[in-house]
Structure 1
């Protein structure tokens, strides 16, 4: 098994990556409840958040672009940015898998589409489930920076010329209107994993493998690199492109599932904890110690930039 775990921390200012609803002319940012320990007690607080679903969508679209460039299979809907996976009916897909079942059906689907290979699908009619090989947490403020996070609304005016106003007001349409959009700023943390070994391999028995498995593994890792180092996910980028600084990015590669914790508190303490846990993990399972590579701004022994973290893992 080749299991890649990642943990990132970003200083993000003025973002609207994930709004959830509008009430009249007010657009709300997503929030999530988290538990914070203060002394000997725990308190609940609501903080700005970006859902794992939003981040996973960005990752999958980055994967689509890379796959197209490298002539790896991508389903037609995915090429259009429509990530509809196989479900109870395959009629919306251009597929040749309809008459297959079990492992043969799963193999056929992943041979047609790298997105469903990496990110999974579920077809109840075929009794075939493929668990996603990529996972993302919600992106939330680091526990040591919760009090420094903020959500506030920004005032905007949708402008129109006098001629347009005169025309549409006769039809009772207010085309020049006021509206407010919530934006958030925080030191965010994000974690997740990528199971490279299960890419290009069926999860239903008998186990079968695609011919271009290695190319798919590299493409999935490169898509993750673009997603995390270039912050390529989220909505409202054209007018609310956030100001982002990568504070830390840590990756581990292991032969069994070894998942990195979120980067909270002092960076040196965090790295010492990860290294100690990796030692205990490898000793308990009698396997090779997970390989850990990291970029942490201003910390001795760190790689010089986040992209080098992925170059090291890929190499």
Structure 2
């Protein structure tokens, strides 16, 4: 089964993904996007949150739920260090060092649900496992590009003259500026449920607790998307968030939902029509589509129920 999602958030005053600091100025991530305007196509630069940032949040939510369910989590992942096997086996507490191929992959995912769901690559073993979870960049919806905004906020870290004199350090007190952004953002991605707890290298083998892992992976995605549990600077720049729409589909074959742009009722009509054609061409059951739409005809009353209905 293939789970696809498309979310639209109204986010005000966020610093979820800054990329650099120049002196006392911290910049928000930006990305170029192309959209159709009256005179043709236009390129503009907009605030963005990287898929890597969102994936990190998802994986940490996965770690928490996995530990609560007594599923295996590698020791570094428990500390929030998602190093995986790219650095080799020496940095890990593992028993997989002498294994190869499919046996090595099976051993790794038996030891760590994060590498099971989110993949890994060990160049020393020539073993690669593609991620079962994918996130797009979070960018402003195309119909709201012109209303996205980025502006720096002025802050002061205060210290008394006595402290400055005592420690002989003028940097104790400092002025700094942090860019914050506001926009109606869209986010898309997928979770390959069939790939969880199953090797990708041949011969294909399953772990014993595969069904339990699938449930935890889905619940971690629900927490990530509906509770907005991702991004940096949450303690002092926690954004004001409203979910404008959340659509989830489950299908036998990979069926990916487009971003939630434009009129929500028109969007659902287009998605439903595409799903009909998709199922007809492949000769399979039509994808199950569930939606929460604040400004449209949704099927459920709140975002959490979307995941309870698939």
SS in 1 for 2:85: coil
Deviation at 1:172, TM superposition (A): 4.8
1:38-77 superposed matches below 5 A: 38-77=37-76
Deviation at 1:301, TM superposition (A): 4.2
Which residue in the other structure is 1:285 paired with? 282
Alignment equivalent of 1:184, drawn from 177, 181, 185: 181
Answer with 292-301 or 182-191: which moved more: 292-301
* Residues 212-249 of structure 1: CA deviation (Å, up to 9, x unaligned): 00000000000000000000000000000000000000
Q: Residues 116 and 156 of structure 1: is their aligned pair in 2 closer, same or farther, counting only changes over 3 Å?
A: same
Which residue in the other structure is 1:229 paired with? 226
Which aligned runs of 4 or more in structure 1 are off by greater than 4 angstroms?
Answer: none
Which residue in the other structure is 2:196 paired with? 199
SS in 2 for 1:125: coil
Which residue in the other structure is 2:7 paired with? 8
Distance 2:250 2:28 in 1: 34
* Residue 259 of structure 2 corresponds to residue 262 of structure 1: yes
Which residue in the other structure is 2:301 paired with? 304
Deviation at 1:89, TM superposition (A): 1.9
Deviation at 1:192, TM superposition (A): 0.1
Query: Number of aligned pairs?
Result: 310
Deviation at 1:41, TM superposition (A): 1.2
User: What TM-score do you get using the length of structure 2 for normalisation?
Assistant: 0.99
**Aligned-residue CA RMSD (Å):** 0.9
* Residues 31-81 of structure 1: CA deviation (Å, up to 9, x unaligned): 000001112411110000000000000000000000000000000000000
Deviation at 1:165, TM superposition (A): 1.6
* Residue 213 of structure 2 corresponds to residue 220 of structure 1: no
Distance 1:284 1:39 in 2: 35
**Is contact 2:265–2:297 with CA below 8 Å preserved after alignment?**
no
Gaps of 5+ in 1: none
User: What TM-score do you get using the length of structure 1 for normalisation?
Assistant: 0.97
Which residue in the other structure is 2:146 paired with? 147
